[in-house]
Structures are given as C-alpha cells and as structure tokens.
C-alpha cells in the first residue's frame, strides 16, 4: 500500500529571535501512518460507502488527442474544450455508461458518473458490497489524529475488501467485470469527530542528521537580496531567514509579467490537498504581512469527506500562501480536500473534482498543484485481476492526460529526499536512485528545487541545486529516472536510458532562506518542493490568464510547450547534486550515484529555473 507524504520541510521559529547565522530551529518532516496496526471492528451493515470503478474507454485515443492538443506546431494545438464535451468525446461511451448503470442498479448499487466519464462512484451499504464481492469487509474505525497525518494517525475510517489467500484487494467481481475497466474495493472516510482542531504541532528533531560523519554542519545562508518589498517586522524577516514574495516575484520574472498587464485576479489556480485543512486567520496574517490580497478560499469536498477538515496543515497553508504571494491580487483560490488513502482514490477524486471548477463541467482551472508524493517503486507491489501494479494508476494517468484537453496545467512537487526518496521513507530494498509518483507521470510538470542567492535589485547572484545535507538536513530535490515510464515525446534524448526523467523545471526549495509561511501564529521559513510546485503553477496560471484575456486559449499541459522554448527562457542550473546518504539499518550507508547538475538539461533541475517574463506571449 502507498501512503503519500507531503513534500515540505517545515522549520519552526524559536520563541526568541534567531541570530542571522545561527542554526535553524527544530525541523520536522511529515510522515504518514497507515491503519495496519489499528484495532478492527464490526461496521454498521447499513453504512453506505463509495467504491471507484473505471469506465471502459479508449486510453490510447485519449493520449493521442492529449499529445496533439499539447504539442506546439500540431494542427490541434490548444484546441481546448469544456470538461463536459471532452468527457463525452474521450471518456466512456454512452453505451458503456448505460451498461454500468443497469448492472450496478440490479445489484443494489447507485451510480454517479464523474464529468470526466473516466470513472464512476459506486455507492451501496456495506452489506450489499459484502454480498457482491463475496467477502467480509475489513473495517478499521477512525483513530484520533490529524487529517494530514503530520502528527501521527489520521482520523479516517477504512473499509477494505481483502482476499484472505493473498492479503491483497479482491478481484473485480464477475458481476461487474464486463462493465468496468478498473475496480478499487476500498473506501476511506474522514471522521471530523476524531480530527484534532487547530494547527498541528510540529515535532522537534535534531538539525544534525548526517549519517556519513560527524562533520559540523555549515551555518545557514541568509537573505542578502533587496528590496524586501512589503513585509512585517518579525524575526524571520528582520533576521533575513526567508525570501519575501516580492523577492521571488522579482527574480523569477513574475513582477515583470504583472507590469506587462497580466492580472493575478484573473488566474484560476486549484490546490489538491490530501487531508489538509487551513485556518483563515493565517491566510489573512500572510496577506497583511506581505501586502498581497486576501483571497476567498473556495473549498470542494472529496468523496469520503463529509465536512471541511478541522485540523490545520502546514502543507496546505504553504500551498495557498505561495500562490497568494505570486499572484499578488488573487481573488479566489480553489482548494479540493480529498482523503489521503492507501490506494490513491483520493488523488483520482481530487484531480477530477479540480477539473470541474464551476460544478457544471464548463470551466476548468488554468493550473492545479499537488505537493504530495510516494515511492514510485511501491506502485508495483499490488496485484488485482492477475495484473501487477496499483489498479488506480492507469485511471489517474487518464485523468492527467484529460487535464490538457480542458486547458489545465498539472504541477507536482518532485519530492524532498533527493535521489534516496524510497529509501528515506523506509523502502530499503534498493540501492539505486529512486523518484516519486505521481511526479514521474509523463502527463504532469514536475517541479524540483534550487537554492537561491540574491543581490541588489533582487538580481540573481547564483542559483544551484537544492541540497541541504551540508547544513545538516537530509533535504534535496528529488530527480532521476522513472522505472515505469518511457521517455515522453517532448523530452530530449540526451541520456543513455530511454526513460522519463524528472524534474522538468526547478525553483526555490531551500529551507534557509526559504518560502515564508504564516502558521500557528508565527511567520517562519519553510523549505521543500511543496513551495516550488504551487509557485510555478501560479505563474503558469498567470500566463494562461493573460492568454485568455487576449482571446487565446490557455496553456494546458505545459511540458511540450516548455521544452519547445529557447534555452534563454530558463536559468541554467549548473552546480550541485541531489545525493542524500541513507543509513540502511544494521547494514551500510547508501548514497545513490545520481544525480549531478550540468550545463543544459539534467536530472536535478530539468530545463532549469523558468524566467516567466520570457515565457510571456510565447
């Protein structure tokens, strides 16, 4: 089973002012608990739960259309349509929908067809599902915990239908096998009564976590750029521990884009949050501190989320505030709250709901960002219907491909564990470099991390690969080769392996100076690609909004367009690596031999850091 983790490294600010060259306050990296050790119980047989099933569809035809619509020079380039029309054209056929409805209803199961027409939500009482599936449900009540899982257990009740002989998901029942493509016999439901209200306490951890030697960590760099722009008088700002929104807008060209007439209020950005809540007071505090708009946060609830999430998450606050800082005058940011489950149903549900921005399948966002990731290798560990791999994965890939057809750019954080991602989250079975999923998907733009050094006028003095090992923290931008996906058509064939490589681009992810975050009543610095992804998404949404304002279609799936740009559209990251040493318990220290930044396209920074002003109007 895969549990996704947040791709951010939160840095707490001490109660007293931290000297400019002092080490950081304690660091906590989110980890997610599963329900494997939780006590089982007997569920109410009348409890209605929803399982997901993929509709029969032509995925190859969908992919071919997505490629044509996304590739500059194609006759269909940016031939964007509404979700309603795209779903009818490239999702399940009317006949497939009718066959599923008829079959499911005869079994006592109600059917909701998603607007993408890629899948259906099938709802029935537990007793009905046990009869249809031929096994009893494995029910785990919701434990006390926070919904984002950053302080231990998550308040989710789970309903899993497991084959006792294999310990894996049961096979698709014969009664449904002829009318569905994929079937995921597991449901996860958020229980707000078990959620912990308010901000999640971040557990202190030692800064010095280098496993390779006893070398004293280097002192953290400080922000030497100027001007700071509008910023409140707090230790993190006066101590130069973070970069202000004005500074990141300046260095990446957002300020120039805004001066040329683009309006953040026109940009449509959606954040997919897997279990993350937020507090409006923190959103307002960030806006007041840095002189940006305090936008309305429009929340959509995913399947299994009956009410808005009670606990606050630093991850969700970082996503929202980074978008606010980039767009300056955003009026609305959309937030989809989906469950963080073991089978990626929450991701399918969250991204599909994100594409339906107006609830009528007629308006979609310019950009969607997700800052969670899981070990790509783990996606081979399950079997269903004799097929190896997660049943959700093909369905999620089709949702990603369809995003481009409705004009939506999807951005995923690359991850914060360098080339040791799988090993750091506990999968010690490989010594090779590893990457994350969904970050390795060829249908998304993966954003890696850099470390910035600014000077007068917020001019870039230098920008290198983000790797904080030298500062005593095992944090670096994940990058390398996918083990699943071949090299997509838009990536250059510059490497010996013909595989998908990540990231595609990279921006700021260092912990100090890092992204500003208002959380738990404190303005503090935070690092990780969880800041890189929403910042890039906000900028591409800004460019798409400008296109729409001029009567042109939005950018849509951004990768083919980005890779077609001139080299001068990116700052080339030429120094640094993303190697993070990992102690394999009782055995050895593993340092995967990947990856090093080089001149041009590489496995650490991809194309480099976007210069958004040079992408304007391209």
Count of structural domains within the chain: 2
What's phi and psi for 215, nearest 5 deg? -60, 135
Burial class (CB in 10 A: 0-12, 13-18, 19+), 214: exposed
173: left (phi over 0), alpha (psi -120 to 50) or beta: beta
Residues 402 and 457 in one domain: yes
Coil, strand or helix: which one is 109? coil
Do both 310 and 244 map to the same domain?
yes
CB-CB contact of 103 with 589 (8 Å): no
**Tens of pLDDT along 338-366?**
999 988 999 999 999 999 999 999 999 99
Look at residue 18 and tell me if it is in a domain. Answer: no
| Residues 385 and 452 placed together within one structural domain of the fold | yes
The full DSSP string for 337-365 is EE---SSSHHHHHHHHHHH-TTSSSS---
Question: Does residue 213 belong to any structural domain of this protein?
Answer: no
Mean pLDDT of 222-248: 97
Are residues 482 and 442 part of one domain?
yes
Do 162 and 249 have their domain in common?
A: no
Shared domain for 98 and 241, answered yes or no, is no
| For residue 395, pLDDT beyond 70 | yes
Decide if 305 is inside a domain. Answer: yes
Are the C-beta atoms of residues 311 and 352 closer than 8 Å to each other? no
Cα-to-chain-centroid distance, residue 204: 25
CATH of the domain at 525: 3.40.50.200
Q: Per the domain annotation, does 130 fall within a domain?
A: yes
Q: Distance of CA 517 to CAs 41, 199, 318, Å? A: 40, 13, 6
Q: What is the pLDDT of residues 76-109, one digit of tens each?
A: 999 999 999 999 999 999 999 999 999 999 999 9
The pair of three-digit structure tokens given for residue 586, joined into one six-digit string: 């009782």
Same domain, 339 and 473: yes
In order of 7, 252, 288, 424, 434, the CA distances from 479 in angstroms are 13, 21, 36, 14, 8
Global confidence as pTM: 0.93
* Residue 135 within any structural domain of the chain: yes
Alpha-carbon distances of 337 from 252, 272, 308, 353, 501, rounded to whole Å: 29, 6, 8, 10, 29
**pLDDT surpassing 90 at residue 137:** yes
Assess if residue 10 is contained within a domain. no
Range of the domain at 434: 219-615
Would residue 34 count as lying in a domain? no
Do 226 and 167 sit in the same domain of this protein? no
Is residue 6 domain-resident? no
One domain, residues 255 and 140: no
Q: CA dihedral in degrees (343, 387, 123, 189; nearest 10)?
A: -10
pLDDT at 37: 54
Is 506 found in the same domain as 443?
yes
pLDDT per position as a tens digit, 10-61: 443 222 222 222 222 222 222 223 444 567 789 999 999 999 999 999 999 9
3-state secondary structure 523-587: EEEEECHHHHHHHHHHHHHHHHHHHHHCCCCCCCCCHHHHHCCCHHHEECCCCCECCCCEEECCC
Please tell me the predicted confidence (pLDDT) of residue 27.
27
252-411-327 Cα angle (round to 5): 45
Q: How many CB atoms neighbour CB 194 within 10 A?
A: 19
Q: Indicate if 176 and 259 belong to the same structural domain.
A: no
Are 280 and 163 in the same domain?
no
């Amino acid at each position: 089973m895969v549990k996704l983790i947040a791709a951010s490294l939160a840095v707490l600010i001490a109660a007293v002012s931290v000297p400019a060259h002092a080490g950081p306050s304690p660091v906590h990296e989110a980890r997610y608990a599963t329900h494997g050790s939780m006590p089982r119980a007997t569920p109410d047989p009348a409890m209605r739960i929803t399982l997901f099933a993929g509709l029969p569809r032509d995925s190859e035809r969908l992919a071919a259309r997505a490629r044509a619509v996304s590739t500059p020079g194609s006759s269909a380039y940016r031939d964007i349509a509404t979700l309603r029309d795209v779903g009818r054209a490239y999702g399940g056929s009317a006949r497939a929908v009718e066959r599923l409805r008829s079959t499911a209803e005869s079994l006592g199961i109600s059917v909701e067809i998603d607007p993408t027409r890629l899948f259906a939500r099938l709802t029935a009482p537990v007793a009905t599902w046990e009869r249809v599936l031929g096994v009893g449900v494995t029910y785990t009540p919701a434990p006390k915990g926070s919904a984002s899982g950053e302080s231990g257990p998550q308040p989710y009740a789970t309903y899993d239908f497991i084959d006792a002989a294999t310990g894996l998901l049961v096979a698709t029942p014969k009664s449904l096998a002829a009318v569905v493509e994929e079937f995921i016999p597991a449901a996860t439901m958020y229980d707000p009564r078990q959620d912990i209200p308010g901000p999640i306490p971040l557990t202190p951890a030692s800064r010095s976590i280098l496993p390779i030697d006893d070398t004293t960590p280097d002192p953290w760099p400080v922000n030497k750029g100027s001007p700071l722009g509008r910023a409140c008088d707090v230790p993190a700002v006066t101590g130069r521990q973070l970069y202000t929104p004005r500074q990141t807008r300046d260095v990446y060209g957002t300020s120039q884009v805004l001066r040329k007439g683009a309006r953040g209020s026109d940009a449509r950005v959606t954040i997919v949050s897997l279990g993350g809540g937020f507090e409006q007071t923190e959103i307002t505090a960030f806006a007041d501190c840095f002189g940006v708009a305090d936008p309305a946060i429009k929340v959509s609830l995913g399947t299994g989320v009956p009410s808005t999430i009670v606990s606050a998450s630093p991850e969700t606050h970082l996503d929202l505030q980074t978008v606010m800082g980039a767009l300056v005058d955003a009026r609305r940011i959309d937030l989809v709250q989906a469950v963080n489950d073991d089978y990626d149903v929450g991701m399918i549900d969250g991204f599909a709901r994100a594409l339906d921005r107006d609830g009528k399948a007629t308006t979609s966002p310019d950009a969607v960002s997700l800052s969670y990731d899981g070990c790509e290798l783990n996606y081979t560990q399950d079997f269903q219907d004799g097929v190896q791999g997660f049943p959700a994965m093909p369905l999620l890939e089709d949702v990603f491909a369809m995003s481009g057809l409705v004009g939506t750019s999807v951005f995923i954080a690359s991850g914060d564990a360098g080339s040791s991602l799988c090993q750091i989250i506990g999968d010690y079975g490989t010594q090779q470099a590893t990457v994350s999923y969904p970050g390795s998907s060829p249908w998304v733009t993966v954003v890696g991390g850099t470390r910035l050094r600014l000077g007068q006028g917020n001019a870039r003095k230098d920008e290198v690969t983000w790797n904080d090992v030298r500062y005593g923290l095992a944090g670096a931008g994940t990058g390398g080769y996918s083990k699943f996906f071949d090299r997509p058509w838009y990536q250059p064939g510059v490497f010996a392996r013909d595989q998908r490589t990540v990231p595609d681009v990279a921006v700021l992810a260092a912990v100090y100076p890092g992204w500003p975050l208002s959380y738990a009543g404190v303005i503090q610095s935070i690092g990780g690609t969880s800041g890189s992804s929403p910042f890039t998404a906000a900028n591409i949404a800004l460019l798409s909004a400008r296109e729409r304002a001029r009567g042109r279609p939005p950018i849509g799936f951004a990768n083919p367009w980005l890779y077609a740009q001139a080299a001068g559209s990116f700052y080339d990251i030429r120094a640094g690596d993303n190697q993070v040493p990992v102690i394999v318990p009782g055995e050895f220290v593993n340092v995967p031999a990947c990856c090093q930044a080089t001149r041009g396209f590489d496995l650490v920074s991809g194309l480099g850091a976007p210069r958004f002003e040079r992408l304007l109007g391209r």
